[in-house]
């Protein structure tokens, strides 16, 4: 039986709804995602840590959930907001309903919420903190709780989602845990699996599908915690370094920025999403919070070198300020065609490049697949590309 629920934003706007999974109360930033499919990938994307996600597509749950379509080991969102929940999924791959999936994870899911009105409000007023409850249905009380919640600015959420220990990724799944503390044998670390290139993936909240795609492209992968010292990464003697996506305010993750600064020029580096923001800061730039962020599988981005437009999958609420980077050897490679914000950077002399979006496209299109080829070329030559 569904329970009455209420969502209150920090500006006092409220949205009545009803819970189809879970119960209780949660405070978090409220954002929206414009993808039509891929809700299980959205739920398990670590970049959504600390956020309630509203889906703009009106019908959610119609194909259920399954153990394969996950992007991390657990549900990461704080709560899930939909217009209409489909209680009876119809798909041969479905092993569990969305409601049962959220119940098992202890995550509150609500329906009957006017997601169109919520999305329009956030687009006009900007992303906001919110409070969602099945216990407290008083608008004033719930608004006060939203106002008092910490929000995302200045908060390091990477430390909450990064892996506790390094591990190998082999045959599409996590393999053995690695001890990289003290003396270790680098050659032994890379044993097992197949691949032409050795790549260390720094886990700031990495999605499984990016690891699947890197492995498919011929890379042996060691996934390392975000706080791994640069000396340890260097001792592993990788052919390349990958910087992952992740949640929270990039300006708060200073230790990763310092790691990037110390590794630049030693090995080719490719970064996406939060990794892009880490590289932007390492190159002298600053980051700022977007009004309502880019979240969905339909963001248009132009490659400035070719003028080709690609439709991309994105999930971020912060951006690198292109004007804050003074180094003339740093070039802007991609821009977002919706709001002209920075979507890609590269260095003319150092083998390093990054994009603000998710080229592995889970969920989403495969337009950005060529970026993996650029990374491979950079590892082959040790030189900048483009």
User: What distance separates the 2 farthest-apart alpha carbons in the chain?
Assistant: 62
Task: Specify the fold of 158-381.
Answer: Rossmann fold (3.40.50)
Our measurement of the distance from residue 218's CA atom to the centroid of its chain's CA atoms, rounded to an integer in Å, reads 23
300 HSE (CA, 13 A, CB side)? 7
Across the chain, mean pLDDT equals 95
Domain with CATH 3.50.30.20 in the chain: 3-148
Is beta strand 219-225 parallel, antiparallel or unpaired with respect to 197-203?
Answer: parallel
Q: Is the pLDDT of residue 116 over 70?
A: yes
Q: What is the pLDDT, as a whole number, of residue 181?
A: 80
| 8 Å CB contact between 295 and 33 | yes
Main-chain dihedrals φ then ψ at residue 56, nearest 5 degrees: -75, -25
Please count the other Cβ atoms lying within 10 Å of the Cβ belonging to residue 291. 12
Band the pLDDT of 1: cuts 50, 70, 90: low
Band the pLDDT of 356: cuts 50, 70, 90: very high
What is the rounded average pLDDT of the residues 68-78?
96
Copy the structure tokens of residue 292: 């309502």
Q: What percent of the chain is modeled with pLDDT above 70? A: 99
User: What does the pLDDT look like over 124-165, one tens digit per residue?
Assistant: 999 999 999 999 999 999 999 999 999 999 999 999 999 999
Taking the alpha carbons at both ends of the chain, their separation in whole angstroms is 57
The label of the residue with tokens 């990763």 reads 256
Main-chain dihedrals φ then ψ at residue 263, nearest 5 degrees: -100, -15
Q: What is the pLDDT, as a whole number, of residue 317?
A: 94
Active site residue 358: yes
Domain with CATH 3.40.50.880 in the chain: 158-381
Q: How far apart are CA 200 and CA 202, in angstroms?
A: 6
Active site residue 310: no
Set 17, 31, 204, 273: catalytic member:
273
What is the rounded average pLDDT of the residues 312-321?
94
Active site residue 273: yes
Residue 100: is it exposed, middle or buried by C-beta count within 10 angstroms (0-12/13-18/19+)? middle
- Specify the CATH number of the domain 3-148: 3.50.30.20
Q: Which residues contact 73 (CB under 8 A, 6 or more apart)?
A: none
Q: How far apart are CA 145 and CA 132, in angstroms?
A: 9
Q: Is the pLDDT of residue 386 over 70?
A: no
Q: Is the pLDDT of residue 232 over 90?
A: yes
Which CA distances in Å does 88 have to 64, 75, 98, 165?
8, 21, 9, 39
User: What does the pLDDT look like over 9-26, one tens digit per residue?
Assistant: 999 999 999 999 999 999
């Amino acid at each position: 039986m569904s329970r009455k629920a209420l969502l209150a934003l920090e500006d006092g706007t409220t949205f009545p709804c009803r819970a189809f999974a879970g119960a209780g109360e949660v405070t978090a930033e409220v954002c929206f995602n414009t993808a039509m499919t891929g809700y299980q990938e959205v739920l398990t994307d670590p970049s959504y840590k600390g956020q309630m996600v509203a889906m703009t597509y009106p019908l959610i749950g119609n194909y259920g959930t399954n153990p394969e379509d996950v992007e991390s080991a657990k549900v990461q969102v704080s709560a899930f907001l939909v217009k209409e929940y489909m209680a009876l999924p119809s798909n041969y791959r479905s092993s569990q309903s969305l409601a049962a999936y959220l119940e098992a994870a202890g995550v509150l899911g609500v329906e009957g919420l006017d997601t169109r009105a919520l999305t329009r409000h956030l687009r006009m007023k900007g992303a906001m903190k919110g409070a969602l409850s099945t216990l407290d249905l008083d608008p004033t009380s719930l608004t006060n709780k939203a106002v008092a919640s910490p929000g995302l600015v200045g908060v390091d959420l990477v430390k909450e989602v990064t892996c506790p220990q390094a591990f190998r990724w082999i045959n599409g799944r996590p393999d053995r845990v690695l001890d990289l503390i003290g003396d270790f044998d680098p050659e032994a670390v890379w044993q097992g699996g197949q691949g032409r290139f050795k790549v260390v993936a720094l886990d700031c909240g990495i999605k499984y599908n990016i690891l699947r795609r890197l492995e498919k492209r011929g890379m042996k992968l060691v996934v390392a915690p975000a706080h791994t010292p640069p000396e340890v990464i260097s001792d592993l003697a990788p052919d390349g370094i990958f910087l992952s996506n992740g949640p929270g305010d990039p300006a708060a993750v200073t230790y990763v920025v310092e790691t990037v600064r110390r590794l630049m020029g030693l090995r080719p580096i490719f970064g996406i999403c939060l990794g892009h923001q880490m590289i932007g800061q390492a190159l002298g730039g600053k980051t700022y919070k977007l009004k309502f962020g880019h979240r969905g599988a339909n963001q248009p981005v132009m490659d400035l070198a070719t003028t080709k437009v690609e439709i991309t999958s994105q999930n971020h609420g912060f951006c690198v300020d292109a004007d804050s980077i003074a180094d003339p050897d740093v070039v802007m490679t991609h821009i977002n065609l919706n709001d002209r914000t920075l979507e890609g950077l590269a260095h003319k002399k150092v083998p390093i490049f990054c994009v603000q979006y998710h080229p592995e496209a889970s969920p989403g299109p495969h337009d950005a697949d060529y970026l993996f080829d650029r990374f491979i070329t950079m590892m082959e030559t040790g030189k900048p590309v483009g």
